[in-house]
Structure 1
Amino acid sequence: MSQALNDATLDQLFREARTVHAFKPEAISDETLHKLYDLLKWGPTAFNAQPARFVFVRSPEAKEKLKPALSGGNVAQTLGSAVTVIVAWDSQFQEHLPVQFPAYDAKPLFDNNAALTQATAERNSALQGAYLILAARALGIDSGAQSGFDATKVNQAFFPDGRYRANFLVNLGYADHSGTFARGPRLTFEQATQVV
């Protein structure tokens, strides 16, 4: 049986973690990016479909390619992060289902149903992006997720064949806490839940 994590771990993953808006000029290695993916890939998705695709935007040239798609308030934090991850979804994720989900042949459910494919891919790639944030925190990496960008411009710049489509961005690095905001309030249990 699994055991509850200790308070220090829960603090790092949830209670003390913050969305970061400023980063120290410290790099994230390829080895660390591999470790990050090797953690996040274990999070559950529908049909074990794993529709997310991750583009680690790290080089100055790639950051400049991304820059025109960013909203003005997100430029400095994105350019200052060690890596910006484009969390995208694969519009043909079902091609992997025969291997990823051998319990039964789920591929035909998606082959001729673009609406189901998109809904499944968007929902589950968002889950995988959340797993990325938690995996980063587990590895001591700070993050700042953002939806303040022009997805069409990102898709044109990074996915011109149209197969992958941007969902959201996540800046990764090591926090410069001079740019960390105070934590905002959260809804209470009574406000956000029902037990039926």
Structure 2
Amino acid sequence: MSVSPALPRIDDEARAALFTDARTTYSFADTPVDDETLTGIWELARWAPTAANMQPLRVLYVRTPEGKERLLPHLDEGNRPKSASAPVVAVLAVDNRFHEHIPHILPIRAELKDHFDSEPAQREGITSFNGPLQAGYFILAVRAFGLAAGPMAGFDSAAIDKEFFSDSDWHSILVVNIGHPAGAAEFDRMPRLALEHVLGWA
């Protein structure tokens, strides 16, 4: 019987940066985040697993004053100061026309492009599951570059779609503020559930 090679393990420092020491950030320093870093974040996040490699997630980076002026009015009032202070705000969206890329990303089943073209409900099923899955990887990728992420759900999705995506089939699902924290975390770490409440064994 062949023995599979062991997968590499990241060290304690890397695990802490991605998980145990990472915190949601609410206010940011004015240190800019450059194009190379933002591109690098996506280069990591794009390796998230998705059903049949469908990859529906798309990212709009908002960082200019003009872009912020267009975005902030569509956020819940309590979220606007957070995004105003962030050097970059990523609007994560799903592309409802993701299937048009199937001949490239799933060449062994290229015929699925035509199938999904006539099945909008199935496309919605793909985006509703795989988009959030990719979004989780996106947040980890932000942390992997030594930056803080502030994911938020408080926004008018329809208004953002009309403002930024009117000429596409993208649909916003999450807003993520990105940058370096402005000082210490604003709140104490809240407790996580104990093992007996979350783990089962069979």
- TM category (shorter chain) comes to over 0.9
- Find the counterpart in structure 1 of residue 164 from structure 2: 158
Comparing 104-113 with 123-132, greater Cα deviation is found at 104-113
The answer to whether residue 127 in structure 2 is matched with residue 106 in structure 1 is: no
Q: Is the 8 A contact 1:68 1:153 kept in 2?
A: no
Does 2:91 match 1:86? yes
Q: Structure 2 matches for 1:40-51, cutoff 5 A?
A: 40-51=45-56
TM-score normalized by the length of structure 1: 0.95
Q: In 2, Cα distance between the equivalents of 1:20 and 1:30?
A: 21
Q: Percent identity?
A: 35
Distance in 2 separating the partners of 1:111 and 1:182: 48
**Are positions 1:183 and 2:189 aligned together?**
yes
Equivalent residue pairs, number: 196
Match of 1:64 in 2: 69
Partner of residue 132 from structure 2, selected from 126, 129, 138: 126
CA root-mean-square deviation: 1.3
State the 4+ residue runs in structure 1 displaced beyond 3 angstroms: none
Q: Supply the distance in 1 between the matched residues of 2:193 and 2:113 (Cα, whole angstroms).
A: 39
After superposition, what is the alpha-carbon deviation per residue over 1:90-114, rounded to whole angstroms, capped at 9, x for unaligned?
A: 0100010111012323324422221
Corresponding residue to 1:5 among 2, 7, 10:
10
TM-score w.r.t. the length of structure 2 is 0.92
One-letter amino acid of the structure 1 residue matched with residue 174 of structure 2: F
Secondary structure (helix, strand or coil) at the match of 1:166 reads strand
Q: Any idea what the Cα deviations from partners look like across 1:90-145, whole Å, max 9, x if unmatched?
A: 01000101110123233244222212111211221111111111011111011100
Long gaps (5+) in structure 2: 1-5
